[in-house]
Amino acid sequence: MKPLEQISKKELDKIKMIVFDVDGVLVPRGTRIKQVGHTTTLETKVIKKRQIAQIKELHMKRFLINISSSRGLYMMQEMFREVLPFVSLTYECGSATWHKGKIYQHVNSFERLRSVFSKLEKAAEKNKNVKGFEPKEFIITIHCKRKDKRFEEIVNKEKGLCTHWNGEAYDVLIKKYQTKAVGLKHVMKIFKLKRENVMAIGDNYNDHELLQASGMPISADKSRIKGKFHIPLKGHFLPADILMQKILSLKRGGV
Ligand SMILES: [Mg+2]
């Protein structure tokens, strides 16, 4: 893994699309949630002005931008409102993609997740460790203060389902079917791209498959995930900021 500074202009030649993970890459990590009875309160982070300008410039330079997250569409639209004309949004771990108001559904998880949902809801009742269920369409997301074996056991009993713990919540999904990598493969078909045309940046263990599905994987945290290049954590800049700075400086003719 080489530091990002060593990437050359030539290595960018084939890249037509850049795929960004959200938390820890485009915005700082963490989602605040509170659920009391049937009232759910969610805090939304909004993309910073600096990143808006960078995304617009990449778009002007003819790059396609795809933002891939385990979050729901409504929340991503809120976060990225300012750049919606210039990006596509792949949401709920590769389950579907929004582009210019059109939705492409990549998986149908209804039958597979229907029965487990009520079991998880029951286990969450009067459970002080549970902060709430995040509203989702294709996956189930349970925010907890800490890991909770009960949820893992319930899901493990269901054939073909799995849980991902990301430090603040469990995502419950269909194994190997609801992943950011599967989402990316669909997105590549929509935009008629090959693997070598795609650069992807992520910061966490669960981005591994996504990065490997791209021709140019970039690690935003080399202690957790492998890439062809990695972004050294420096100062207060977000990894996506450093990556966009670098690409734009190369495309402007810098080194
Ligand atoms: Mg992340």
Whether residues 143 and 190 share a domain: the answer is no
Whether residue 92 lies inside any domain: the answer is yes
Whether residues 99 and 122 share a domain: the answer is no
Report CA(10)–ligand 1 centroid distance (Å).
Answer: 28
Whether residues 162 and 235 share a domain: the answer is no
Whether residue 118 lies inside any domain: the answer is yes
CB 234 within 8 A of CB 242: yes
Whether residues 162 and 85 share a domain: the answer is no
Whether residues 114 and 103 share a domain: the answer is no
pTM confidence score: 0.94
Whether residue 1 lies inside any domain: the answer is no
CB 195 within 8 A of CB 184: no
Total residue length of the chain:
255
CATH number at residue 54: 3.40.50.1000
Which residue in 183, 169, 173, 210 sits closest to 29, CA to CA?
Answer: 169
Report CA(187)–ligand 1 centroid distance (Å).
Answer: 19
Q: Is the pLDDT of residue 20 over 70?
A: yes
CA distances from 116 to 54, 57, 92, 111, 156 (A): 42, 44, 17, 10, 10
Report CA(223)–ligand 1 centroid distance (Å).
Answer: 13
* pLDDT tens-place string over residues 142-170: 999 999 999 999 999 999 999 999 888 99
- Three-class SS state of 204: coil
Report CA(28)–ligand 1 centroid distance (Å).
Answer: 9
Whether residues 143 and 28 share a domain: the answer is no
Whether residue 3 lies inside any domain: the answer is no
Report CA(13)–ligand 1 centroid distance (Å).
Answer: 26
Whether residues 100 and 114 share a domain: the answer is no
- Return the bridge partners of 169, or none: 143
Q: Which residues line ion ligand 1, judged by CB < 5 Å?
A: 21, 23-24, 203-204
Task: Tell me the pLDDT band of 212, cut-offs 50, 70 and 90.
Answer: very high
Task: Provide the number of structural domains found in the chain.
Answer: 2
Task: Tell me the pLDDT band of 255, cut-offs 50, 70 and 90.
Answer: low
Whether residues 70 and 100 share a domain: the answer is yes
CB 4 within 8 A of CB 58: no
Whether residues 224 and 211 share a domain: the answer is yes
Tokens 């487990």, located at residue: 116
Opening angle at CA 143, ends 147 and 132, nearest 5: 130
Whether residues 189 and 170 share a domain: the answer is no
Whether residues 152 and 183 share a domain: the answer is no
Percentage of residues in the chain having pLDDT higher than 70 = 98
CATH number at residue 170: 3.30.70
Report CA(253)–ligand 1 centroid distance (Å).
Answer: 30
Q: What is the pLDDT of residue 254?
A: 59
Task: Tell me the pLDDT band of 44, cut-offs 50, 70 and 90.
Answer: confident
What is the domain range of residue 141? Answer: 110-174
Which residue in 78, 80, 91 sits closest to 51, CA to CA?
Answer: 80
Q: Is the pLDDT of residue 31 over 90?
A: no
Mean pLDDT of the chain: 94
Give backbone dihedrals phi and psi of 168, rounded to 5 degrees, phi first.
Answer: -140, -15
Identify the domain boundary among 174, 191, 208. 174
Within 8 A by CB and 6+ apart from 217, the residues are: 199, 200, 201, 211, 226, 227, 228
Whether residues 127 and 159 share a domain: the answer is yes
CB 86 within 8 A of CB 54: no
Identify the domain boundary among 174, 189, 216. 174
Whether residue 2 lies inside any domain: the answer is no
